[in-house]
Chains A and B, each alone.
Chain A
Amino acid sequence: MDTQTWIYLVVGATFALYVGIAIWARAGSTGEFYVAGGSINPVANGMATAADWMSAASFISMAGLIAFLGYDASAYLMGWTGGYVLLAMLLAPYLRKFGKFTVPEFIGERYYSKTARLVAVVCLIVASITYVIGQMKGIGVAFGRFLEVEFATGLLIGMAIVFFYSVLGGMKGITYTQIAQYVVLIFAYTVPAIFISLQLTGLPLPQLGLGATMADGSGMYMLEKLDQVVTELGFPAYSTLKGSELNTALLTLSLMIGTAGLPHVIIRFFTVPKVSDARRSAGWALVFIAILYTTAPGVGAMARLNLMDTIQTGPVGEENANLVYENRPEWFRTWETTGLLEFEDKNGDGLIQYYDDTNEEFDQKARSEYGWEGNEMVTVDRDIMVLANPEIAKLPSWVIALVAAGGLAAALSTAAGLLLAISSAISHDLVKGMIKPDVSEKGELMAGRIAMAGAVLGAGYLGLNPPGFAAQVVALAFGLAGSSLFPALMMGIFSKEVNRVGAIAGMLAGLGATLFYIFMYKGWFFVPGTNLLPNNADNWIFGIQPESFGAIGAMINFAVAIILSKVTGRPPAHIQDLVESVRVPRGASAPSASH
């Protein structure tokens, strides 16, 4: 069977599975729609959380990021996993004990304020929408590349599937599809990684392969070899940290608190029966996430090595040591048609030279001694590394089909989780909580379904017509969650002193400072040309990049909230009792809407 047939078969089978689950797991009450009735087994919830959390970015982009950044990509690995430690110890069990449906609901009650709840709803919706645009783009790209259909057609098929199981099943349908999607995506990620690790090192586990000797008889360790290959071509060494330590640490911290504060992840812990289950479930979620996250460094390093070796076939600078463009492999041609890989024969010798021409010293040497005239791989998009990897390593067709299905599973599962967070904030926090408190349960369930349908359509529209800033907004989503929601939630549990005024002012200050810093370098509301300073390391304050600022925003939030609360007095007694009660597990009940 050829690759294309395999892809139709595998992707078709997984989609049939998701639809089957949707029909089986329909939601009959608001409890089932928002939190799957609070009856999900903690291990199963851990698996669903892993799929919910690992997006198209984790599946497609992260290994590519590691491949080109090397050590410096560690911030993403540690940040996107370490956040679960914070979630398990600082938020999840207490919010589960609180026993309501949404994140803004906790903030509204703890700070006895509809304004606080509204601020939380706005943060939640902006963070989730910006995040969902990326998933929609991922779905369109994966379809476009693998099913050979138009981007728009691909996106519409994806939307139809998500629409079906999320509108019908709510959290219940989403949970069971996410479990299936986790299985698909982890299988799709690890199988090619095992093949490639075997080819390069003879060891099946990429976690071990990355630290092992090469199977090519050179006797060199893989990382040693990789450092040698890249530095010989003028690139910075792979296995040493190149960025500033302060910035790397702040980026890691921002990603950690952003992870812990993202509402679509938090609400997954409302679906387990007990408080102790919420703790355990966070552990299992991280186990399932760690399987992918500890594989990714191997995938990234091996992809980089394979790519370099394909192009630089012999010793640097010797004749006939570079790939002849006419003899480029099939995958090279396929990706060239997408524009994500581009070659320009600058010195007209018909050979491909791929080196770092921003390294002046090496560039001069290459020009004077080798007759090279600049880096000829003018575009190497990081996102193609995972998708092209099985082809570069010449793996069988069914593996390539599996990767296509895995990428789609990652994007679909995250999109559904985000859409649920958005629709529950609209139907529960806005409609039930503020606009029409006397709405019946049936009415609220209907409102939830309508909000979900609207959210799917809205996300689809934004996926088809992505705003120019689409690529930049992930920083915004994490910045918002980390600088506004995380501190408000944590102080709500760990402090009895922080009051309404402190919390609202803190959230707005953290948010305002973070937005200001991001906009300062990326333009007001991301409009190109309106930035105050060029976005590069020379202009960053203390070398802190905009993506790293969420941690500072959070510190501002904490400081403002604590100081203002000291000045304006303790919250009322019943709020202090509420804090007391979320701190102990005893007395937890299934989440409910009643007060």
Chain B
Amino acid sequence: MSTKDQSAAAQYWRANIRLLSKLLLVWFLVSYVAGIFLADVLNNISIGGYPLGFWFAQQGSIYVFVGLIFYYVYRMNQIDREFGVEEE
């Protein structure tokens, strides 16, 4: 690997880490924060018959998890192409 390739690989990796740090922050917020630590507070708000904390813990977090993975897939494919490391 040439030094140029190496620095491109390092940049690619940093872009990946930046993306997944953001997504894992959301992952943490919807499950641990909304579903557990702030559950009591959020339960004072209701959407339909669901107290909000309860909804996040038993429904919402799961929907968000699915969305996070597909957004990751979409963005990573873009980043792969941007750095020219996609599969042939």
| A residues lining the B interface (CB < 8 Å) | 66, 71, 74, 77-78, 81-82, 84-85, 88-90, 93, 207, 210-213, 221-224, 239-241, 245, 248-249, 252-253, 274-276, 279-280, 282-283, 286-287, 290, 293-294, 297, 577, 580, 583-588
Minimal beta-carbon separation of A92 from chain B (angstroms): 10
Say yes or no: A89-B55 contact (C-beta < 8 A), given A81-B65, A584-B12, A585-B87: no
Q: How distant is the Cα of A66 from the Cα of B59 in the complex, in angstroms? A: 13
A71's contact among B13, B57, B61, B66, by CB below 8 Å, is which?
A: B57
Which residue of the partner chain, among B13, B39, B77, contacts A276 with CB atoms under 8 Å? B77
User: Do the beta carbons of B73 and A297 come within 8 Å of each other?
Assistant: no
Main DSSP-derived SS at the B contact region: helix
Task: Provide 18 A-B residue pairs closer than 8 Å at the C-beta atoms, listed in order of the A residue.
Answer: A74-B54, A77-B57, A78-B57, A82-B61, A84-B69, A213-B49, A223-B50, A241-B36, A249-B37, A252-B32, A283-B72, A290-B65, A294-B59, A297-B59, A580-B1, A583-B13, A585-B87, A587-B87
C-alpha gap A340/B83 in the complex (Å): 60
Instruction: Tell whether, in the assembled complex, residue B49 and residue A241 are in contact, meaning their CB atoms are under 8 Å apart.
Output: no
Cβ–Cβ contact B49 & A89, under 8 A: no
Residues in A whose Cβ lies below 8 Å from that of B76: 93, 276, 279
Contacts of B48 in A (CB 8 A): 211-212, 221
How near does chain A come to B56, taking the closest CB pair, in angstroms? Answer: 9
Q: How far is the CA of A372 from the CA of B31 in the complex (A)?
A: 41
Tell me the complex Cα distance, A249–B61, Å: 14
**A249 contact set on B, CB distance < 8 A:** 32, 36-37
Q: A78-B31, A276-B86, A279-B76 are in contact. Are A286 and B51 (CB under 8 A)?
A: no
Nearest CB in chain B: distance from A307 CB, A: 19
> Which residue from B31, B65, B87 sits with its C-beta under 8 Å from A84?
B65
Q: Contacts A74-B36, A211-B55 known; list 15 others, CB within 8 Å.
A: A77-B58, A82-B65, A85-B69, A88-B73, A93-B76, A221-B49, A222-B49, A274-B87, A283-B73, A286-B65, A293-B62, A294-B63, A580-B1, A586-B84, A586-B88
Contact B85 A78 (CB under 8 A): no
Q: Given A89-B20, A239-B43, A252-B31, does the pair A276, B66 have CB atoms closer than 8 Å? A: no
Q: How far, in whole Å, are A249 and B63 apart by their CA atoms in the complex?
A: 19
Q: State the 9 A-B residue pairs at the shortest beta-carbon distance, nearest first.
A: A221-B49, A74-B57, A283-B69, A211-B50, A297-B58, A211-B48, A211-B49, A584-B85, A586-B85
Nearest CB in chain B: distance from A102 CB, A: 23
Contact of B35 among A78, A222, A279 (CB under 8 A): A78
When A and B form their complex, what is the total count of cross-chain residue pairs whose Cβ atoms lie within 8 Å? 143
Q: Which residues of B contact A89 (CB under 8 A)?
A: 20, 23-24, 69, 72
Q: Pick from B16, B24, B57, B58: contact of A85, CB below 8 A.
A: B24
Task: Please determine whether B69 and A88 come into contact, CB atoms closer than 8 angstroms.
Answer: yes
- Beta-carbon contact of A584 and B9 below 8 Å: yes
Contact with A along B27-42 (1 / 0, CB 8 A): 1000110011101100
Rounded to whole angstroms, the CA-CA distance of A420 and B9 in the bound complex is 35
Query: Would A241 and B31 be within 8 Å (CB), given that A77-B57, A586-B85 are in contact?
Result: no
Other-chain contact of A279, B36, B50, B54, B72 (Cβ < 8 Å):
B72
Contact B50 A588 (CB under 8 A): no
Asked whether B49 lies within 8 Å of A245 as measured between CB atoms, the reply is no
Chain A residues closer than 8 Å to B62, beta-carbon distance: 77-78, 81, 290, 293-294
Candidate in A82, A90, A245, A294 with the most chain B CB atoms within 10 angstroms: A82
User: How distant is the Cα of A224 from the Cα of B58 in the complex, in angstroms?
Assistant: 16
In angstroms, Cα B49 to Cα A224, docked, is 8
Contacts of B40 in A (CB 8 A): 240-241
Interchain CB contact under 8 A, B87 and A588? yes
Among candidates A66, A252, A580, residue contacting B9 with C-beta atoms closer than 8 Å = A580
**Interface of chain A, main secondary structure:** helix
User: In the complex, what residues of B have CB within 8 A of residue A583's CB?
Assistant: 9, 12-13, 16
For B47, the chain A residues whose CB sits under 8 A away are 211
Closest chain A residue, CB of each to CB of B61: A78
A567 to chain B, nearest CB (A): 25
* Smallest CB gap from B57: residue in A: A74
Give the CA-CA distance A310 to B68 in the complex, in Å.
42
A283-B1 in contact (CB<8A): no
Contacts of B54 in A (CB 8 A): 71, 74, 223, 239-240
Q: How far is the CB of B55 from chain A (nearest CB, A)?
A: 7
Q: Which residues of chain B have C-beta atoms less than 8 A from A66's C-beta?
A: 58
- Closest beta carbon of chain A to B32's beta carbon, Å: 5
A89 to B23, CA, bound (A): 9
- By the criterion CB–CB under 8 Å, are B85 and A585 in contact? yes
What is the distance, in angstroms, from B65's C-beta to the closest C-beta of chain A? 5
Distance of A275 from chain B, by nearest CB (Å): 6
A245 proximity list for chain B (CB < 8 A): 36-37, 39
CA–CA, A545 and B71, complex, Å: 35
CA distance A554 to B6 in the complex (A): 31
Option from B31, B49, B80, B86 in Cβ contact (under 8 Å) with A212: B49
Please indicate which of the listed interface residues A241, A275, A282 has the most CB atoms of chain B within 10 Å of its own CB.
A241
Complex: A580 Cα to B53 Cα, angstroms: 42
Bound Cα distance A249, B59 (Å): 17
Q: How far is the CB of A220 from chain B (nearest CB, A)?
A: 8
Asked whether A279 lies within 8 Å of B73 as measured between CB atoms, the reply is yes
CA distance A287 to B66 in the complex (A): 6
The CA-CA distance from A297 to B53 in the complex, in Å, is 14
Residues in A whose Cβ lies below 8 Å from that of B63 = 290, 294
In the complex, the answer to whether A239 meets B86 with C-beta atoms within 8 Å is no
Q: Which residues from chain B contact A77 at a C-beta distance below 8 Å?
A: 57-58, 61-62
Residue in A closest to B67 when the chains form the complex, CB atoms: A283
A223 and B51 form a contact (CB under 8 A): yes
- CB of A134, distance to nearest CB on chain B (Å): 23
Determine which of B43, B57, B87 lies in contact with A586 in the assembled complex, contact meaning CB atoms within 8 Å. Answer: B87
Query: In the complex, A293 Cα to B66 Cα: how many Å?
Result: 12
Of the residues A223, A275, A279, A282, contact of B49 by C-beta under 8 Å? A223
- A211 to B50: give the CA distance in the assembly, Å: 5
A248 proximity list for chain B (CB < 8 A): 36
Q: Which residue of B lies closest to A277 (CB)?
A: B87
In the complex the two chains form, what is the Cα distance from A222 to B58 in whole Å?
15
